[in-house]
Amino acid sequence: KIVNHLQRKGLTGKKFSSLKDADLETIGIKNPIISYFRDKSKSSKKNVPFML
């Protein structure tokens, strides 16, 4: 239900990763599982492809 609502609002992975804990509480989806996937959505240097 919540995921469908956020998709209709146009929340992409990039926007989702930028949400703060306070934003998640406001939306009503603050829990450890959502926080885990939000943190996994953030881009990190370890995901950069290998370049010669």
Q: How many residues does the chain have?
A: 52
pLDDT in tens, 26-38: 888 888 888 888 8
Residues whose CB is less than 8 angstroms from the CB of residue 16 and which lie 6 or more positions away in sequence, other chains included: 6, 38, 41
Q: Map out the domains of the chain as residue ranges.
A: 2-42
pLDDT in tens, 1-52: 777 878 888 888 788 888 888 988 888 888 888 888 888 877 665 656 666 6
Which one, of 50, 51, 33, lies nearest residue 41 by Cα? 33
Q: What are phi and psi of 49, to 5 degrees?
A: -65, 150
C-alpha R_g of the chain: 13
